[in-house]
Structure 1
Amino acid sequence: MIDAYIQKKQSKSTKRKTRQAKALENARKATFLELLHEANLESLPPHVPSYLRAAVGPPSSTSRRHFCTVCGCTANYTCVRCGMRFCSCRCQNIHNDTRCLKFVA
């Protein structure tokens, strides 16, 4: 009686694989370059923007923007110990507790 119960419990815990899961197992992972080649971006007309035609604009004449190392917002302050940037007292406290590199080395 106990063996039948254990067997029934084990059969319920095992799940069947769906068709999609089987297909994903058999699918080969393509690299980014292979995906670009398969997309055939060279055949697009010249006026259509694509990944291959993306270009960087001229350098900015304004000063460089600095971002908070904790949350990613624009940062106005820097850590006195390590020089990392932060935007508020809350981010400064998080930085001091976890991210300050002065105490790591």
Structure 2
Amino acid sequence: MAVQEVAYKSAEIEIKKYRDRVNAEAHRAHLRRQRLETLQQDNHFEDPHKNLVMAKNIPTFCDESERKQAKKPRKGKLAERWRKTYAQAFVEEDRYWQSINQSALDAAAVCNYITAEAGKSRLPAMHFCSVCSCPCCMKCVTCEDRFCSKRCLEIHKDTRCMKRVM
């Protein structure tokens, strides 16, 4: 009986640890969402300088030597007129590849922006410090952000750790 009770207790402890870990992950996800929402709210404000009108008698802070008159770019205007945006080039390439008879071409031989695909890396994922972007191997216990040194950990705890946001 004592053996069964010990096994039951150890299984119960493992279940509690698993629940705590799941709750911690859910709490971290909640804090991340809350942090993003506060950042979004900070971004929505009206520009205080929107209605200011520049007066002619106020000096500008540009040097006179920097104000050189450039040559009139005649060829530049023509190039700007016919320049394609990224979206236009993407759509045009897609139409081109759709218009080509795909049965005549090998599927393996056709490689363009749409069909190009890289395989999964054989190397492990790289992890970088959230403070200084150096390679690192340590995580914060609270929010699981990564850091590389004690100095970066102190900066993270002072300014970036999610428990400080609340």
Structure ID, larger Rg:
2
TM-score (norm 2): 0.36
TM-score, normalised relative to structure 1: 0.49
Q: Which has the higher contact order (CA 8 A, sep 6+)?
A: 2
Structure that is richer in helix per residue = 2
